[in-house]
Amino acid sequence: MAKLLQYLLLSDIDLATSIGLFLTLCAVYLLIRTLYRLFFHPLQHIPGPKLAAASHIVEFYYDVIKGGQFIFEIERWHRKYGPIVRINPRQIHISDPDYYDEIYAPSSKKRDKDPIFTAQFGAPESIIATVKHEHHRMRRSVMNSFFSKRSVMQLEPLIQEKIDLLAERFIEAKQSGMVLKLEYAYAALTADVISHYCYGKSEGYLDHHWPQNDIKDGLSGMGHFTHYFYFFPILASLTQKLPTRLLEKLDPAAKCFVDLQGRFIEASKRAIRKGPRVDERPSLFDALIDPSLPESERSVGRLSQEAMIVLGAGTETTANTLSIGSYHLIRNRPILLKLREEVKQVLPNLSSRATWVQLEQLPYLTAVINESLRIAIGSTMRSARVANEPISYKDYVIPAGTPVMTEHHFIFYNSDIFPQPEKFDPERWIKAAEQGNRLTKYQIAFSRGSRQCIGINMAYSELYLALAMFARRFDFEITGTTDEDLRFVRDYEVPCGPNGPWTVQARVKEVLAD
């Protein structure tokens, strides 16, 4: 279109006629494209609103103009059109919990990612943005052993050390009367653990940075840009290139985020110069610069982008789950007391320490964690999968190359599976197990299949160890946070409330004695 306009302007036709002809041709193009999408497109047989099938304007309006509302419009469409809906010209959303494993399939069924979705991250060399199945499998194989259960168990002394330090910060907060933002407190824990794992050194958020956390600031603050980046991915690259002073004036959170990226680039350069460490426990950086890997996989961009994504994902989602779980334990004292009594079985006194393996055997703690993961949702991003062959859903054949998705919210808040889904009820997991109903089939907080969150074992270790400490050693009281504040009303790829990202403010009421 740009070349056509240039040709018309340089021709002998007068300016008004050139512009008129250009606009006419644009209108004809849009008309033909609309007719094709509605009547001749391979997805024309999939139910859904015609305007959404014809254009991305509906998606843009609800997510960009109205601010993270498209997920709720999709929910309304499912009530009207059924479990399969064409949500835009090229994507399908399926609201059927029992079909989830077909979309997010194991490695035996190849599933690519949607390149339009991955472009928004501005990190094309990271594992989360790797489009092709085979390329993703190669990159993941390098990292798999690092995040295996065995490796995380070997790291457990470090995690326990950080949790003990967090407990010290809670004790100090009790002495000073400080009101804590629990998501920041837990983000200090998770960021210190994952940063040590990435490049062998903790960022120190539980030490000299406490209670500040620029990773959490950056991730929370950048949330409201996510939909802009999705529609205009070039903005993600431009943000990284703007002068620091200008960026700080435009948005301090964006400046925080870009500063972090700069730190990771410098850390990546140092790691590449030094080469893999042989005399210390290897870090993720050491694995990513292994000489056996192709040179293209050992670039500064590859290392820095992977570290940024791993640190962000490893910090925020687990911290949010811990924060939301803690909120509901504080609000529901009978649940907290029942959990405390169970935890005392393996932590009989305050100096006791229990391993992740020991804590996993506690059914009520496991139920509390499952319910915290469900209520907190995790990610709300529309992460589609693309099959290389046609797949079927009921009477519908979905053509090869079609991005298909199911968002966590549609499973975790499905009242047929989880009655009264807004209620925090760990007992539902206990009762289901007693009745032989495998409710864990619907525990998809970390996704499933070949693209399942690589940090699942680390997250579970942190959840078990941190919530056991919280329940065993402290009583908190909520200050200024209500159920309404934690209602999911906006989607910025993490669930947000009426006032933005979920925030839990609390004060340490009592430090428990043996």
Question: Three-state SS for 246?
Answer: helix
Token couple for 40: 């001749």
Any residues with CB less than 8 A from the CB of 33 and at least 6 apart, and which? none
In the chain, % helix, strand, coil (3-state, to 5) comes to 60, 10, 30
Token pair 């990546």 in the structure block, residue: 268
Q: What would the two tokens of residue 495 be?
A: 């669930």
- Helix-then-strand count for the chain, H and E: 24, 13
**SS3 assignment, position 396:** strand
**What's the distance, Cα to Cα, between the start and end of the chain in Å?**
74
CA-nearest of 424, 461, 176, 412 to 314 is: 461
Closest CA to 70 of 59, 78, 81: 59
Q: What is the 3-state secondary structure (H, E, C) of 305-327?
A: HHHHHHHHHHHHHHHHHHHHHHH
d(CA 215, CA 284) in angstroms, rounded, equals 19
**Is 256 annotated as ligand-binding?**
no
In whole angstroms, what is the distance from residue 10 CA to residue 8 CA? 5
**Structural element, H or E, at residue 91:** none
Separation between Cα atoms, residue 142 and residue 333, nearest integer Å: 44
Peptide bond into 211 cis (omega under 30): yes
Are the CB atoms for 121 and 435 separated by under 8 Å?
Answer: no
Query: Looking at this protein, which amino acid is placed at residue 29?
Result: Y
| Burial of 17 (C-beta count, 10 Å sphere; 0-12/13-18/19+) | exposed
Q: Are 475 and 510 in contact (CB under 8 A)?
A: yes
- Residue burial 342-366, b: 16+ Cβ < 10 Å; e: rest: bbeebbeeeeeebebeebeebebbb
The label of the residue with tokens 């942190």 reads 462
Whether the CB-CB separation of 260 and 217 falls below 8 Å is answered with: no
- Distance from C-alpha of 237 to C-alpha of 225, rounded to nearest angstrom: 13
Alpha carbon distance 159, 477 (integer Å): 26
Q: What is the DSSP string of 346-369?
A: T--STT----HHHHHT-HHHHHHH
Look up residue 459 and give its amino acid.
A
Annotated binding site for heme: 453
Annotated binding site: 453
